[in-house]
A and B are shown apart, each in its own frame.
Chain A
Amino acid sequence: MSTGIHGVIAFWDYQLILARVDRLSLLFGYIFHLVAFLGAIYALHVKEDLEQMAGLVYAGSALGVVFAGDLLTLFVFWELLTVSSVCLIWNRRTREAQAAGFRYLLVHVVGGLCLLAGVTLQIHQTGSLAFEYIGLNGLATYLIFFGVGVNCAWPLLHPWLTDAYPEATVTGVIWLSAFTTKTAVYVLARGFPGTEVLIWIGTIMTAFPIFYAVIENDLRRVLAYSLINQVGFMVCGIGIGTPLAINGAISHAFNDILFKALLFMSIGAVLYRTGTTKATDLGGLYKTMPLTCICCIVGAASISAFPLFSGFVSKSMVMEAAALGDLRLIWFILLFASAGVLEHAGIKVPFFAFFSHDSGLRPKEAPWNMSLAMVLTAGLCIFIGSFPGPLYSLLPYPVDYEPYTAAHVIGQLQLLLFAALAFPLLLLSGIYPAEIRSINLDADWFYRRGGRLFYRIMDRALNGLNDRAEQVFSLGLAGWLGRWSRDLPFRLALLLLYPLWLAQGLRGEELRKKRLALQQALAEGASPVGIGAAVAMAFLLLFFILSGLV
């Protein structure tokens, strides 16, 4: 496809641009195709039509988003991303996956509605559907910003990711890790480059997940936290907005898709063979899964940004851009987060799965198609890390950056290896937190427990009202009315007869007997017909008098 605009369609008074091809969209196009291909190899053994189709529709929607030239096309593919991806979660067919999938769907529907509201307002205000630089000005742009932020897993909007991805299928999570967050990064890069608040959002994203990753037991959830951490570097780069920073953000998205896919593939192979990803249950797998182990280590080295591995040539551009912008605090936090990446993705994931204590598990090596996909992805990680030229030539801005200077290599190796030195020291001294079967509360508490609390409050309040109403109306009032109308003939008859009895001189015990006899007679219908007629007459009279009064 040549660069430029394709597929322009008139739509009422607007123009839909189905495909806009430029350097930014092309780069995302390349990597999405690449990872879809690798993911498809990895999933070759899967005989589930629904899952395979959903995966392909998902990949297609991601491509639709990055090539969409107008906001409406963007929105349609954006929603398609959500709908297709949730199948990759549900298809795991566990109760947890089903529940997590529903939560995932709800969060994304809210985000999608925000985006739709923003897009509608934006079109109304500007009179154009075009998707160009948006920037933050006014409600419409804030809504779009927020809608994209949900998919980008910003802090507090993030728990859909760490909740649902670890529950997804073995093969589905490869695609999940690639598309949703990276399409959001693409939209930010095109619509909101240089938006200052993104610097802080990105920086917080790099920092907070690493604490969670240290204490998390499920290794796929560790990788999900690390996904947020890596997207943080991209968001921060987009916020800085200089050509170097944007290049760094985009190339890091490119690399992250590969090494994150590789890490999810290797842990996925472990899950496929052993049925678990809990650090407490794994260990010593290097013995029988050496290839998977090596691929995992390559992924770990890439994400930790070791020289010669892919993370090194892209993350450092964001760091350098932060330093050149004199963002001191940001730079320190990013550097801290870089050491943190090494802790959870670089050491913890491979160590607890493949080394650590021997779990006694001796699973077979991964199936051939999984192994092939892992080896190809690992090869790409090393190739890009060692020869960044081809990737740099594809970036949106011309690259004037050399990652392989002696000082940079030494500095980075010092940072990583001395951080790594702390690991055995902490482990041997017993300070390193033991893996415990547990879960850790995160912001999803607010809608998982909070939602339940809301439900309970609503339950108490509304159902309480319901109960009270039932007591008053259906049990109380209706019963009273029923009793009242049942006793009515008796009371009326009594009203007429009582003075009569009194006039007859009946008193005390006799009066009570008469009364009882009357009640019995009326209840059994054994009263003389005349009394019934008299009561009816009394009714008619009463009615007549009352109507005359009104």
Chain B
Amino acid sequence: MSETTAKEKQYLFDKPANIKRFFWIFYFVLVLLLVLDLLLPKHAIFPWEDWPQFYAAFGFVSFVALVLAAKYVLRPLVMRKEEYYDE
């Protein structure tokens, strides 16, 4: 097995350095967005849209809430084995 992997072509994300690079770019963009949010004018319809970093916080929190709810609430309720309907 080790022979075949050694022979096989190295792909983009086989190198940890590339993954690291990808994440640095990602973090940089995130920070950039936080800064731009403070600098640029807003034209909010609701008052909370004017709060600094409202969208960033909302996006992060709802993603986490969604995953937790799906994993700890929905999955125990509805998950069955694949043959459930064949029995």
Binding site for B on A (CB under 8 A): 210-212, 214-215, 286-287, 320, 323-324, 328, 331, 335-336, 339-340, 342-343, 355, 405-407, 410-424, 426, 431-433, 436-442, 448-449
Contact = CB atoms under 8 A, between A and B. Distances in A.
B49 A411 contact: yes
Contact of B30 (A210, A417, A448): A417
B12 A431 contact: no
17 contacts: A210-B66, A214-B71, A215-B71, A215-B75, A287-B11, A331-B46, A343-B67, A407-B41, A415-B59, A420-B63, A421-B26, A421-B60, A433-B70, A439-B79, A440-B75, A441-B79, A441-B84
Interface of B: 9, 11-13, 23, 26, 29-30, 33-34, 36-37, 40-46, 49, 53-60, 62-64, 66-71, 74-75, 77-82, 84-85
Contacts of B34: 414
Given A343-B67, A411-B55, A417-B29, 17 more contacts: A211-B74, A215-B70, A286-B11, A324-B45, A355-B13, A405-B43, A406-B40, A406-B41, A414-B37, A417-B26, A417-B33, A418-B59, A421-B26, A421-B30, A432-B67, A438-B79, A441-B79
A407 B53 contact: no
The 5 A-B pairs at the shortest CB distance, nearest first, are namely: A214-B70, A419-B59, A415-B59, A419-B63, A414-B55
Nearest to B29: A417
Name the residue in A212, A437, A438 with the highest tally of chain B Cβ atoms < 10 Å from its Cβ.
A438
A214 B67 contact: yes
A198 B31 CA distance: 39
B65 to A, nearest CB: 8
Contact of B46 (A323, A410, A448): A323
B59 A414 contact: yes
A433 B33 contact: no
Contacts of A412: 55
Contacts of A336: 62, 66
**Most chain B beta-carbon contacts within 10 A, residue among A418, A439, A448:** A418
Contacts, number: 148
B58 A415 contact: yes
Contacts of B29: 413, 417
B13 to A, nearest CB: 7
Nearest to A411: B55
B12 A410 contact: no
Contacts of B71: 214-215, 431-433
Nearest to B57: A418
Contacts of B37: 410-411, 414
Given A414-B56, A418-B59, A419-B59, A212 B30 contact: no
Nearest to B23: A424
A426 B41 contact: no
Contact of B70 (A211, A287, A405, A415): A211
B85 A448 contact: yes
A448 B11 CA distance: 45
Contact of A418 (B60, B82, B85): B60
Nearest to B60: A418
Given A286-B11, A414-B55, A438 B81 contact: yes
Contacts of A355: 13
A449 B85 contact: yes
Contacts of A417: 26, 29-30, 33, 56, 59
Nearest to A407: B42
A27 to B, nearest CB: 27
Nearest to A412: B55
B50 to A, nearest CB: 10
A290 B40 CA distance: 37
B45 A323 contact: yes
Nearest to A434: B71
A340 B66 contact: yes
Contacts of A410: 33, 36-37, 40, 55
A441 B59 contact: no
Contact of A439 (B46, B49, B58, B82): B82
B87 to A, nearest CB: 10
Residue from the set B59, B81, B85 with the largest chain A CB neighbour count within 10 Å = B59
Nearest to A288: B11
Contacts of B26: 417, 420-421
Given A410-B33, A413-B33, A440 B79 contact: yes
A415 B55 contact: yes
Contacts of B57: 418
Contacts of B85: 439, 448-449
